[in-house]
Amino acid sequence: MSSDKINYKSIRIEEFKISEKPFYIPVADEINIFHSAYKQKIPVLLKGPTGTGKTRFVEYMAWHISNIVSKDNKKKSEVQKEVPLITVACHEDLTASDLVGRYLIDPEGTRWVDGPLTRAVKAGGICYLDEVVEARKDTTVIIHPLTDHRRLLTIDKLGELIEASEGFLMVVSYNPGYQNALKDLKQSTRQRFIAIEFDFPPFEVEKEIIKTESGVNDSIASSLATIGEKIRNLTDYGLTEAASPRVLIYAGRLIKEGIPARRACQVAISWGITDDKKLHKSIEEVISAIFP
Amino acid sequence: MIASEYYNNKISKIGNQLKLVSQELYLTFVSNKNDLSKYFDEKTLVDWASIGLNISNGSEKNLETGKKFFQVSSLINEKIPLSTFKIWMLTVEKISLESTSLGYSYLISSPSVLKFLRPRYLQEWGEISKNIFSGSWKSNLLAAKFLESSPFLLETISFDDLKNLAKYCENLSIKSCDLASDHLDWFTKNLALFGKDSSDFIILLKKMTIYDWREIKIFFELLDLNIQKNKIENIKYLIQLLLHFYSDKEDKSNNDQTKKIDLKITNYAKIFLINTEKLKDLDVSRIFNFNLNLIKYSRDASYNLNNSINSLLEKLTYRQLSEWFNTGIEILKKDLNLGELYFLVETEQSQLLIDTLSFSVDIEREKELFKIYCGALSGKDLEIQSSEKLVEKEIGWLDSNLATTEGTTIFLPQTVKRFNSKKENFAWYKVIATHQTGHVEFGSFEFNFGRNSSLFFNLRFKLNNFKFEENIDDSEINKNDSKSYLTDISKFLNLFDDSKLALDIFTLLEAFRIDKKVLNVYRGIRDDYIDVQKSALINRPKIEELPTREALVEILIRYSISPDLNISIPSKYKYIIKNLFVLVNKMSSSEAIVEDTAEATIRIYKILSEIDNTLEDDLEFEELDLNENFQDETENQENEEDIKNILDYFQSLEKDLKSSNDKNEFGESENVSDELKYKSPQEVEYRGDFKPELSQLLYDFQLSDGISDGNFDDLNLNENDLEEMIKNFPDIKDTQGDQSENTDGNVAKNIADLIENLDGNDSNSGGMFSDSFGHVDENGKSLISSGKDQYVYDEWDFRAKEYKKNWCLVNEKKMSEGESDFYDETLLNYSGLMKEIRKQFEMIVPENYRKIKRLEEGEEQDLDLVVEAMTDLRAGITPSEKIFWRRNKIERDIAVAFLLDMSASTAEAIENTKYSKDDWGAPDDPEKYMEWLRKRRSQGIRRGYKRIIDLEKEGIILLIEALETLGDFYGIYGFSGYGRENVEFFVMKEIEEKFSSEIAKRIDRVSPLHATRMGPAIRHTIKKLEKVEAKSRFLFLISDGRPQDRGYSREGVEKEYAVNDTKKALQEAKSIGVTPFCLTVDKQGHDYMKNMMDDMSYEVLDDISLLPLRLPELYKALTMT
């Protein structure tokens, strides 16, 4: 056996903390709202189309709470714990035990392993369930007692109730665009959360985001933001999802790497968001009107 | 008595003779004689008997014929009058004597032929058949075959056609009897395919036997091949063309000096069929028309055209092709040879024209692209149309080569062929489209008199006050001037004495503003844009030759097109021009809005109107150095003094006007100078035809359409007002020149019409169902079906609690075909929604085969779940028992029939339910009104006036697309009618029919007709569903109101009769396992639907506009259970 070790960084999920300030430009008072909700232990629901910064916002808030809170409370307790961020991407086969934990077989018999949610509850972190509607319905049984005044996690198989630690907060996200009669949040679930809506940012903000994230100059960023704005006008013409800030940033990054602007937009925006040839042609005319 | 005895003797004598021939024959004779003697007089009976005897004499075949004669006689006698019978009898005799076997065929075919043939033709039919017989045994067989095929042929063709067919057989039999005989079989089998074209087909064949009989065999092989490929339509076109093939031979058959080898008809046919094989129906019909036109001049030219048509269609649009074709026809008329080569694309001219045309950019090809492009730029749902469409409307736009817009539609020239490359033409097109879209995007039509400009002190308000103050004491004028203007722009232009000058300034400033905005935002087309601008400067009028004021306007226009350009200007006005330029330049600010354009217009107007419009010969010109002139920007800041100057100027003008009005009666003013009447400058092509006043008027109305049902009253708008307004339109005044005022009146009328249409007051709706239809007594008797596609149905009488037997007559018709445009447009307009629906429907299919986990029993254990359960066991927890999985095999086996209500009421325009009547509180003040309208616009009202039926159609179209992904069987039917004897039932698509473009075209023809007798239509649909084998069957009824018809919703019992019959019909459906579902858009539907639908499901759609969206959803929900 070779002794070549592959170097990689591995951390336990409940120890994952955002140590560097993520880039986030607030559109409205969402930082304040989230912060207040965190202090008041009110779970948060983030709604909005893909690529509008929901995940980035959660990361930012995890950092924000860890750093800003600790400064504010300096007098009270010098050692404010940093808040871990535990993200679970939900899919249609995600069951309650995937969240809570399960018994595994080992040589001596069985061994209990905590799931990510249990770990978050114990560690007092922010547990972010991305695309929560995708998860199996039995997850709601666990989510409900955790998200109201009880803040309890029931672990059936252990016969235990775990009280959530001080810093625990559940944050879920979903995209109403994909909404499908079968997969909608139940009212009883919805009403346990406060909701923050995400949408495409206003022109100036988007321009700033593109500029910072991709490193392009002001004029290119402004053009990309214009393209985004124009393409979003097309949802009536057969676009299922409009161009998100994310694809605009990708286009920007390619431009930064030296790809010609029109080509970068074609691969990052036009071809990415639709397969419709007619739309490609029209979108590319828009792009070529904006980028020389 | 004696006579009778005489005849009796005769009869018995014949009887005896018959007995001698054959006992059997005699018996047949006797049994039929007894039967017929009831009808025949004695003489006829004897004649009859003797004919029988006459034809029976001879061989075995004669005997058979005689026997048949006696047998058939009574059958025939039932069907035809005695006089005709006598003739028939003689015909039998005549034919039989000529050929017994022929007589036999005549006899056996006579009864069945009578189903289709009038008795009086019986004899002629015999005669024409006999003509085929020329003595040979082959021709005998042929004639017999003809007789026997006649009943089948007559099912589809008329007797005249049959006569021609006989002639054809006769002609052909001279050459080849076998061929003719084969063809008879062929006709019996295939002639029905030709429908009403079969007459022409037969005539053509007849001609072919005369001129071209050798080609016939090949021709039929060709037909067979194409019938196999299902290209009947193309064959029909071909037949029409070929009919012209022999026209010249017929005309001048003596004048036989053919200069070259004649084109063979089969070669022509082959080329036509091969080249049209893969084309769309629309293209084929167009090509047919070309050929029809061409073949009159030259068959060879037409042949050549067909040879080159495929490559032409690739390169050219239909319109371009027409242009090329017409040029060719002209050449052909002059020089036949050259023309024929032209159509083979072998002449230089032909090739060159194709190149130019194919380089050009045509609106038809780019419409879709630009619709989305302009939509993306402006964020509004814009239509793209050819400018011609607008000019045709005659509402003030006159030049179909100029682009323009009125805020909701971008009008572009039909074609652009300025350059010799497609790229350049397209770039030009894109520039003008972008400029027009700029007017929409940057708000040219949202001019609001009351809104503050962002760069100027608002002089408009003050000027408006002058107008009022000046007239305040003069009640007469005051009444006129304080009237509410139709648009804000009119109000603005009305501030100026020379509104034409004001409009020209406004137009150039606004165009400049838009150019600047476009160039700023859309940097990608900058190069093309600037190229276009540069070329716009060529061919401008010479400044030196213009009178001063016009020269200054021209300078301004050039400056606005290209500010960097060095312009030579008259030195005398250098400083004035400098000031003008500064004002123009303000429009390039990113903050400039349309109100700034207005303010700048006021300032420039003041400067220009102070300069006399005279020709000054002694002007010195110099190049203006732009750099030098614009260094002192700061100085140009407007100060109070400047403003006061302008105000004073306008106030004085106002006073002058008033005094000159007073003086007017005393004749011309003394101020006779050499001042010329101001003329508008030459337009700038790429900027198009900008008509702010008219556009704003239309724009505002289109926003408000369909909301109110009395816009005219609310706005006090009537034709006279419009006429007045249009007379005041500076641009129209200009273009109409000195023409009589009638033209203005026309324009006004056209606009008024247009607006009325927009308003949704369709005069066609309602009132369709009148008493003019023929009445059948309601208390009358049962009806019987008298045709192939007629069906009778019972109707339920709820008071008598019994069915009225055979009470309704349903006429089933195949819907005729329209254009597929509606279909395509619907798909385009709803492409977003369509994607969504299709996605959802696609998801249904895999859901049927999905692996279902966590079941207590199933196909197999799920390994993961078993491990989990075992772990739980070891850990001492109760494991889950749900450890199995199973594949869910629910196969869809669904047949559904959609039944559309095509009653007259579906012609109603849909009211936009988003705005209820209470919401209708339009402010009286025009300014506020416009603002109010604009607000509505921003709330997203869509333009367009749609009828209920359109939404029904749209819903169905979306559903079709969805259903095609599912593979369910579905039929689409429509119904309407008037009275119980006239229930019209239209077939758009039969359940077992495959979807094709014809179906899209049939849907186009669905339109409001008469009444709504639902019962029989439902029963007829049930009958169709009954024939289909499917696990689940559905009947989906889409209607707009309660069932009603003459005698259906009878008085006294109100509408209950109709409702109950419909209910009964639906129950009948249920009883045979068809699930009915009813979707109604009648808001009053809740009351009777509950009764009518009983325990069956239905939905009342409150918001009609949701129909296209809701229909697929409902379908999905309905069939998923």
CB < 8 Å from B in window 70-89 of A = none
Question: What is the reported pLDDT for B662?
Answer: 53
Mean pLDDT across B27-38: 82
- Between A209 and A95, name the one with better pLDDT: A209
Show me where the domains of chain A are located: 13-197, 203-290
**Same-domain pairing of B611 and B738:** no
A238 vs B969: CA distance, rounded Å: 27
Residue positions counted in chain B: 1121
Confidence of residue B1022 (pLDDT cuts 50, 70, 90): confident
Pick left, alpha or beta for residue B806 (phi over 0 → left; psi -120 to 50 → alpha; otherwise beta): left
Mutation target to probe the A interface, by most A beta carbons within 10 A, among B523, B844, B874 is B523
**CB–CB of A97 and B870 under 8 A?**
no
B475 and B491, same domain (yes or no): yes
The answer to whether residue B243 scores a pLDDT higher than 50 is yes
Fold of A13-197: Rossmann fold (3.40.50)
- Domain boundary residue, one of B441, B467, B483: B441
**Residue pLDDT, tens place only, B705-723:** 433 333 333 444 555 666 6
End-to-end CA distance of chain A: 57
* B155, HSE (Cβ side, Cα atoms, 13 Å): 15
d(CA B869, CA B881): 8
Tokens of B326: 């017409």
pLDDT of B829 > 70? The answer is: yes
pLDDT band of B480, cuts 50, 70, 90: very low
Q: Are residues B510 and B645 in the same domain?
A: yes
**Percentage of chain A surpassing pLDDT 90?**
40
Range of the domain at B623: 446-660+676-693
For residue A80, the model assigns a pLDDT of 54
Q: According to the model, what pLDDT value does residue B711 have?
A: 39
Contact between B76 and B88 under an 8 Å Cβ cutoff? The reply is yes
Contacts of B872 in chain A (CB under 8 A): 103, 157
Name the DSSP letter for residue B925: S
Between chains, do A286 and B368 touch, taking CB under 8 Å as contact? no
User: Lowest-confidence range among A46-55, B112-121, B446-455, B891-900?
Assistant: B891-900
User: What mean pLDDT comes out for the span B733-755?
Assistant: 54
User: Is the pLDDT confidence value at B78 over 70?
Assistant: yes
Indicate yes or no: CB of B832 within 8 angstroms of CB of A235.
yes
Asked whether the predicted pLDDT for residue B732 surpasses 60, the reply is no
Residue pLDDT, tens place only, B1044-1070: 666 665 544 556 777 778 888 888 887
The answer on pLDDT for B756 being more than 70 is: no
Note whether B372 contacts A288, CB cutoff 8 Å.
no
pLDDT score for A260: 93
Q: Which amino acid is at B1062?
A: T
Measure the CA–CA gap between B771 and B766, rounded to whole angstroms: 13
Strand pairing class (B884-887; B851-855): antiparallel
Residue A184 to residues A136, A178, B423, B927, Cα–Cα distance (Å): 12, 9, 49, 46
What gap in Å lies between CA A28 and CA B483, rounded to an integer?
46
B441, B462, B493 — which closes off a domain? B441
Instruction: Name the residue among B944, B945, B923 with its Cα closest to residue B934.
Output: B923
Measured between CA atoms, the residue of chain B closest to residue A223 is B521
Instruction: Return phi, psi of residue B650, to 5°.
Output: -65, -35
Q: Tell whether the model's pLDDT for residue B153 goes beyond 70.
A: yes
Mutate to test the interface with B, among A237, A240, A262, A287 (most CBs of B within 10 A): A237
Please count the structural domains in chain B: 6
Q: Is A282 on the interface with B (CB under 8 A)?
A: yes
Torsional class of B734: left (φ above 0), alpha (ψ -120 to 50), beta (otherwise)? alpha
Q: Is B964 inside a domain boundary?
A: yes
User: Is the same domain home to B322 and B303?
Assistant: yes
pLDDT level of residue A242 (50, 70, 90 thresholds): confident
Q: In B333-453, which ranges are E strands?
A: 361-362, 383-386, 404-405, 409-412, 415-416
Q: How far is B1007 from chain A (nearest CA, A)?
A: 27
Helix axes B299-315, B336-343, angle to 10 degrees: 30
Whether A110 and B522 lie within 8 Å, measured CB to CB = no
Is residue B564 domain-shared with residue B656, that is, in the same domain? yes
- In a shared domain, residues B469 and B599: yes
The pLDDT score that the predictor gives to residue B787 is: 64
Q: Both B433 and B482 in a single domain?
A: no
pLDDT at A216: 92
B478 has a pLDDT exceeding 50: no
Average pLDDT of chain A is 85
B506 & B560 share domain: yes
The SS3 assignment for B971 reads: strand
A162 Cα to chain B: minimum distance (Å): 19
Q: Work out the mean pLDDT of chain B and round it to a whole number.
A: 75
Closest to A174 measured CA to CA, from A143, A148, A202, A149: A143
- Residue B924 included in any domain: no
State whether residue A220 sits within 8 Å of chain B by CB.
Answer: no
B830 or B492: which leads in pLDDT = B492
Is the CB of residue B1090 less than 8 Å from the CB of residue B936?
A: no
What chain B residue is nearest to A288 in terms of C-alpha separation? B524
In this structure, the strands spanning B790-797 and A44-47 are unpaired
Asked if A110's CB is within 8 angstroms of B832's CB, the reply is: no
Contact flag B434-A289 (C-beta cutoff 8 Å): yes
Length of chain A: 292
Report CB contact under 8 Å: A234, B376: yes
Check pLDDT > 60 for residue B1121.
no
Q: pLDDT (tens digit, 9 = 90+) per residue, A136-159?
A: 888 888 889 999 888 999 888 888
CB contacts, 8 Å: A226 with chain B: 521
- Asked whether B827 and B957 are in contact (CB, 8 A), the reply is yes
- pLDDT number for residue B726: 62
Q: Say if the Cβ atoms of B525 and A289 lie within 8 Å.
A: yes
Q: Is the pLDDT of residue B805 over 60?
A: yes
Query: A42-51, B33-42, B97-106, B633-642 — which is least confidently predicted?
Result: B633-642
Average pLDDT over every residue of B472-494: 61
Query: A9-13, B731-735, B747-751: which has the highest mean pLDDT?
Result: A9-13
Say if residues B502 and B601 touch (Cβ distance below 8 Å): yes
| Residue A33: pLDDT band with limits 50, 70, 90 | very high
Q: How far apart are CA A140 and CA B663, in angstroms?
A: 90
Q: Is the per-residue pLDDT at A279 higher than 90?
A: no
Residue B918 maps to a domain: no
What is the predicted pLDDT for the residue at A60?
Answer: 92
Q: How far apart are CA A65 and CA A37, in angstroms?
A: 11
What's residue B921's pLDDT? 47
Are B859 and B900 members of one domain? Answer: no
B1113 to chain A: closest CA residue: A181
Read out DSSP for B311-347? Answer: HHHHH--HHHHHHHHHHHHHHHHH-HHHHHHHHTT-S
pLDDT tens-digit readout, B901-935: 887 776 666 654 333 333 344 455 555 655 555 55
Mean per-residue pLDDT for B53-74? Answer: 82
- DSSP SS3 for B567: coil
The tens digit of pLDDT for each residue in B374-384 reads 988 888 878 88
Nearest to A289 among B371, B524, B836 (CB): B524
The pLDDT of residue B1024 is above 70: yes
> Which helix (H) or strand (E) element contains residue B1006?
none
Residue B1068 shares a structural domain with residue B1012: yes
Confidence check: pLDDT of A118 > 90: yes
* B3 has a pLDDT exceeding 50: yes
Which range among B196-205, B956-965, B999-1008 has the greatest average pLDDT? Answer: B196-205
Provide the terminal-to-terminal Cα distance of chain B, rounded to the nearest Å.
85
> What is the tens place of the pLDDT at every residue in B809-823?
788 877 777 777 778
The pLDDT value recorded for residue B977 is 75
Do the interacting molecules here have an ipTM over 0.85?
Answer: no
Phi/psi of residue B895, nearest 5 degrees: -125, 135
Report, as an integer, the average pLDDT of B858-874: 84
B150 domain residue, yes or no = no
**CB neighbours of B154 closer than 8 A, spacing ≥ 6?**
B113, B115, B116, B117, B162
pLDDT band at B2 (very low <50, low <70, confident <90, very high): low
- The pLDDT score that the predictor gives to residue B100 is 82
Q: How confident is the model at residue B740 (pLDDT cuts 50, 70, 90)?
A: very low
pLDDT, average across residues A235-253 = 83
B534 and B394 part of one domain: no
Judge if B373 and B487 occupy the same domain. no
Hey, which residues 98-127 in chain A have their CB within 8 Å of chain B?
A: 102-105, 109-110, 112
Give yes or no for residue B179 having a pLDDT over 50: yes
CB contact under 8 A, A285 and B373: yes
**B133-141, long-range: CB within 8 Å, 24+ apart, which pairs?**
B133/B98, B133/B99, B133/B102, B134/B173, B134/B174, B136/B177, B138/B173, B138/B177, B138/B178, B138/B181, B139/B173, B139/B177, B140/B99, B140/B101, B140/B102, B141/B177, B141/B181
Residue B718: what pLDDT?
54
Q: Which residues contact B740 (CB under 8 A, 6 or more apart)?
A: none
Distance of CA B629 to the CA centre of its chain: 59
